[in-house]
Amino acid sequence: MNRKIYHLLIIILLSVYAAGCVRSANPDVERGSFFQFRDGYPEIRMSSIGLLSETDEALINVTTDIVLGSLIYSTHDNIRSADVTLEIRILEIEGDFSRNVRRDFSVESSFEGSHLSQDVFTHNEEIEVKPGTFEVQVSVLDRSSGRASTRRAEADIPDPENPEISITTVRLLGKSDPDESAPFFPITTYTVSNTLDSLKFMFQVTNNDMDDPLEINSRLLKFRADDTAARPMNFNNYSPSTLPYIGVDMRNPTEVDAVTRRLDQPGSVLIEFRYAMLERGNYRFEVETTDESGERLYKARDFAIMSENYPAVVSPVELAEPLIYLMDRRDHERMMQIQDPDSLKEAIDRFWLTNVGNMNQAKAVISLYYERVEQANKQFTTFKEGWKTDLGMVYILFGPPWYVDRFLNTFIWSYSYDRSDPRYNFTFERPNMRNEFFPFDNYLLQRNQGYFNVQYRQIQLWLTGGILTTRI
């Protein structure tokens, strides 16, 4: 696979998130960073929030996570380290105010397989600005490779001299330690590990005109979403009335919690809500109030609870789930019923070794398969794990496409020089344009029975180890 074509594919996939002729997202809803994986580039995630300090100073707090496995390491005096430059640019959207902050780091790692690590190096920076609305740009340069990645967000800081009521962006934090004194850390991504002990939502309300007390209404909502693995390529297409077709039902949430707080004091108030860890699924924490003219003020933070190591696959359950694309569904169901982690890991190893036969060859096939799973998670995550999507399934089984054609609501992935060959040209369509009620791209493979032999042949390449020499 030509690396240039591969990078082009990633850029095309990322550009889809900006497509759409209707309002593609509610600017008052924060979703954190998606992974935006590009092979060979630093992988970064970031979040920012504008706040007023206790002395009414305007501040922007920026959190940047740098994935250790995306950096290039060198060894000096038995210490493995990567040299990184982080630059934060803050630009006033309607004005000429700007601030630049540059930091140089040497990120150390004692793990020999640092290039595989999904752990992150986290940097927090609090920067003084002035009241206003700003674009926050974070760039990370890996000085060994000379490659850089950039992420952007917005931050709004109210004017403490202005009597208007305002609500800042909602920030999501988590902690792993059940100890009450354990600190919370910002969560920069849409996905949240299910191993955290608890979550905290933080935002600031400003009201300098207190003729009437202010009521702040908050709700924690859960959305019904498809969480199933992609069905085989030769099955019937999804019916428009089914949840896999819709993807996630944002119009009919279930209310998990609702609280009303009354603010009697003027000025800026930092408000926090804490929750014990939630079950897996897609959620929204929202807050609202009304300003002095009766207009609704609204902010929200969307997030999804996923597996403990996401987007990596490490635990026996995480390793077993994606095998559904290689196994008979009934055999896979029996495997997933194994409760003991050690027994499940033994069943996974037995599956691979029994099929591939040769131990060394099996290790190479396993490494390739789960590398594809993790890359699918980083490239195609939406309301559900990337490996469960139709795009993820085809990517895992067949690898990166040779050619990609994108139209308004359609992807065509080609695995053949003959772009008209129906066996190796796959069409994906999304039922809905992205908008605030359908904020995720839900691309569905256009299935047909003719794909049975194609998929069967590809599965056999994986099970026999032939995938190492013949990709398609």
Determine if the pTM surpasses 0.85.
Answer: yes
Please say which residue of 112, 139, 160 terminates a domain: 160
Please say which residue of 133, 160, 187 terminates a domain: 160
Q: What is the pLDDT of residues 113-133, one digit of tens each?
A: 444 567 889 999 999 999 999
**What's the CATH code of the domain at 43?**
2.60.40.10
Q: Which of 61, 41, 39, 40 is nearest to 50 (CA)?
A: 61
Check whether 13 has a pLDDT greater than 70.
no
In a domain, 451, yes or no: yes
Least confident segment among 81-95, 182-196, 208-222: 208-222
Q: What is the pLDDT of residues 176-212, one digit of tens each?
A: 999 999 999 999 999 999 999 999 999 999 887 666 7
In a domain, 122, yes or no: yes
Please say which residue of 132, 160, 188 terminates a domain: 160
In a domain, 73, yes or no: yes
Structural domain including 403 reads: 316-468
Give the count of domains, the chain. Answer: 2
In a domain, 434, yes or no: yes
In a domain, 81, yes or no: yes
In a domain, 271, yes or no: no
Check whether 10 has a pLDDT greater than 70.
no
Look at 440 and 141; give whichever has higher pLDDT.
141
